[in-house]
């Protein structure tokens, strides 16, 4: 292991944040673009197919929550360890995380074989939705190795200053998905016509490609970690606890978001399956809009973690300020642009007259939330990277589950009118933003006293 100083502690903050965040922002943008394109192609099959994929999102998100949360735990812990030049523990962290991913893969393979059909029959008695959804979700869960290892190895790259390599691996998988989605769904050229199962196959193959590239980059281009099969199967309890201490708030956040989506879908199903499809479109669009913030987080967290380890708080606060300025500005621009073209967005999803009528109101109201949600993402990630994961957990539990679920339930109970329900989305994010700002300044006061 090299003894030289990592660039996370030496490069000027502005230049460093650009070099770390921009590649990840581009990578996440391409990934989000795939998610939208995937739904667009599925919508060409039928509205029921789009509804089936929308209902699968909460369960897919739980899988992603666990994988990404483990990666976040590594990306917050590993830079501090490297900053202290404790390279032995850095290897323990890196290899223990791989063992955890193997455990996740086994669990979700079992769920894929046993739970998916029951999950759909619990929600709807529309046989086509059940058939489509069972086929789609089973494949995604059973072949989950690419999802877990991809998220983990990409975080390993970003946490050691190799954001460009992480971008290449993640973007390669997303581009593969975009290309092969229509080929496998519709049976273009020599490819079989697989319908909605083709969308799932394209997804898992793209994930495997991304994971393979990220693994190769870590083995051959990442000088800060040393992966070995012997260490993978000799996991360290201390390393696992350290990863989970930071990663579990992220897992809970994304997991609660998945559960809230599930509950909210049940509320929408009381009105129509079309409303559920519209909510699925909004979730895809929201995810697309937040990708710059998620990319910024991936670049920002290792910088914050490393410089906290070396007590360079001037670099810490400058990084947060730059990140927040960029993301709030981007969210404002996206809000204005998308408020102008909601009908164009819905047309991309082969919207029926009913879906268009519901979706226009839904998108115009929901887009108000972007600035507040983007602010929450930056501030909560900052608190997590700086050792105040409990503050992050508070905000994320409120924003990810309590506030949206309560808001949707209350509006539905009070008005019994579908159009009023969409106000729950900006309302929940505004309240969460106010709370996150308060806790961030409380954390800053705590760190100033160290």
Check residues 107 and 248 and name the one with the higher pLDDT.
107
Burial of residue 126 (number of CB atoms within 10 Å: 0-12, 13-18, 19+):
middle
| DSSP SS3 for 388 | coil
Instruction: Indicate whether 222 pLDDT > 90.
Output: no
pLDDT tens profile 167-184: 889 889 988 988 999 999
Confidence class for position 103, pLDDT limits 50, 70, 90: very high
Instruction: Indicate whether 137 pLDDT > 80.
Output: yes
Instruction: Find the range with the poorest average confidence among 65-69, 72-76, 181-185, 338-342.
Output: 72-76
Q: Which phi and psi (to 5°) does residue 41 adopt? A: -70, -40
Sequence-distant (6+) residues with CB within 8 A of 86 are none
Separation between Cα atoms, residue 96 and residue 336, nearest integer Å: 45
Burial of residue 220 (number of CB atoms within 10 Å: 0-12, 13-18, 19+):
exposed
Tell me the percentage of the chain whose pLDDT exceeds 90: 49
Instruction: Indicate whether 449 pLDDT > 60.
Output: yes
Check residues 253 and 107 and name the one with the higher pLDDT.
107
Instruction: Indicate whether 117 pLDDT > 80.
Output: yes
Confidence class for position 139, pLDDT limits 50, 70, 90: very high
Instruction: Indicate whether 29 pLDDT > 90.
Output: no
Looking at the chain, the number of H-run helices and the number of E-run strands are 19, 0
Average pLDDT of the segment spanning 238-255: 82
> Is 319:17 a contact under the CB 8 Å cutoff?
yes
Check residues 241 and 246 and name the one with the higher pLDDT.
241
DSSP-based helix, strand, coil % in the chain, nearest 5: 85, 0, 15
Tell me the pLDDT of the chain averaged across its residues. 88
Quote the radius of gyration of the chain (alpha carbons, Å): 21
Check residues 103 and 157 and name the one with the higher pLDDT.
103
> Is 383:324 a contact under the CB 8 Å cutoff?
no
Average pLDDT of the segment spanning 288-299: 86
Average pLDDT of the segment spanning 316-339: 94
Q: How far is CA 38 from CA 286, 325, 328, in A?
A: 15, 31, 28
Nearest to 336 by CA among 367, 360, 362, 358: 367
pLDDT tens profile 380-436: 989 988 888 789 889 988 998 999 999 999 999 999 999 999 999 999 999 999 999
Average pLDDT of the segment spanning 281-289: 89
Nearest to 77 by CA among 232, 308, 255: 308
> Is 121:130 a contact under the CB 8 Å cutoff?
yes
- With tokens 């660039």, the residue in question is 7
Confidence class for position 22, pLDDT limits 50, 70, 90: confident
The confidence score (pLDDT) of residue 298 equals 76
Paired tokens of 333: 């621009």
The confidence score (pLDDT) of residue 30 equals 75
Separation between Cα atoms, residue 130 and residue 418, nearest integer Å: 24
The confidence score (pLDDT) of residue 6 equals 62
The confidence score (pLDDT) of residue 287 equals 85
- Inter-axis angle of helices 273-309 and 13-43, to 10 degrees? 160
The confidence score (pLDDT) of residue 9 equals 66
Instruction: Find the range with the poorest average confidence among 298-302, 316-320, 326-330, 393-397.
Output: 298-302
The confidence score (pLDDT) of residue 2 equals 46
Distance of CA 368 to the CA centre of its chain: 20
The confidence score (pLDDT) of residue 295 equals 83
Average pLDDT of the segment spanning 75-90: 81
């Amino acid at each position: 292991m090299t003894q030289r100083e990592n660039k996370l502690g030496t490069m000027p903050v502005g230049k460093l944040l650009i070099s770390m965040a921009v590649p990840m922002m581009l990578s996440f943008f391409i990934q989000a673009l795939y998610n939208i394109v995937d739904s667009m192609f599925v919508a060409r099959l039928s509205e029921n197919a789009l509804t089936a994929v929308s209902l699968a999102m909460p369960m897919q998100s739980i899988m992603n929550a666990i994988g990404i949360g483990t990666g976040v735990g590594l990306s917050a812990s590993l830079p501090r360890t490297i900053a202290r030049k404790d390279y032995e523990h850095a290897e323990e962290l890196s290899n223990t995380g791989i063992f955890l991913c193997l455990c996740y893969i086994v669990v979700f393979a079992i769920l894929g074989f046993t739970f998916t059909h029951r999950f759909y029959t619990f929600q709807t008695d529309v046989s086509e939705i059940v058939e489509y959804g069972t086929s789609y979700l089973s494949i995604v869960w059973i072949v989950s190795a690419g999802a877990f290892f991809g998220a983990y190895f990409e975080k390993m790259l970003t946490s050691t200053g190799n954001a460009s390599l992480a971008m290449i691996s993640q973007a390669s998988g997303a581009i593969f998905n975009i290309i092969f989605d229509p080929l496998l769904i519709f049976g273009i050229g020599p490819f079989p016509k697989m319908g909605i199962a083709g969308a799932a196959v394209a997804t898992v193959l793209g994930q495997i490609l991304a994971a393979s590239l990220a693994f190769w980059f870590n083995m051959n281009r990442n000088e800060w970690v040393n992966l070995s099969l012997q260490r993978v199967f000799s996991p360290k309890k201390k390393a696992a606890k350290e990863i989970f201490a930071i990663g579990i708030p992220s897992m809970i956040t994304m997991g609660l978001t998945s559960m809230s989506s599930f509950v909210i879908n049940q509320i929408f199903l009381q009105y129509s399956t079309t409303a559920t499809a519209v909510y699925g479109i909004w979730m895809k669009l929201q995810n697309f809009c937040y990708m710059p913030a998620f990319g910024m987080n991936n670049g920002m967290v290792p910088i914050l973690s490393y410089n906290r380890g070396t007590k360079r708080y001037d670099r810490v606060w400058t990084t947060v300020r730059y990140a927040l300025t960029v993301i709030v500005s981007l969210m404002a621009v996206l809000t204005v642009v998308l408020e102008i073209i909601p009908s164009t967005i819905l047309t991309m999803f082969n919207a029926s007259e009913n879906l268009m009528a519901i979706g226009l109101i839904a998108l115009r109201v929901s887009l108000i939330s972007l600035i507040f949600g983007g602010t929450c993402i930056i501030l909560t990630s900052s608190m997590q990277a700086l050792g105040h994961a409990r503050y992050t957990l508070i905000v994320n539990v409120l924003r990810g589950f309590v506030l949206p679920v309560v808001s949707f339930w209350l509006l539905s109970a009070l008005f019994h009118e579908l159009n009023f329900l969409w106000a729950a989305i900006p309302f929940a994010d505004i309240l969460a933003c106010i709370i996150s700002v308060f806790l961030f300044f409380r954390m800053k006061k705590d760190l100033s006293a160290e």
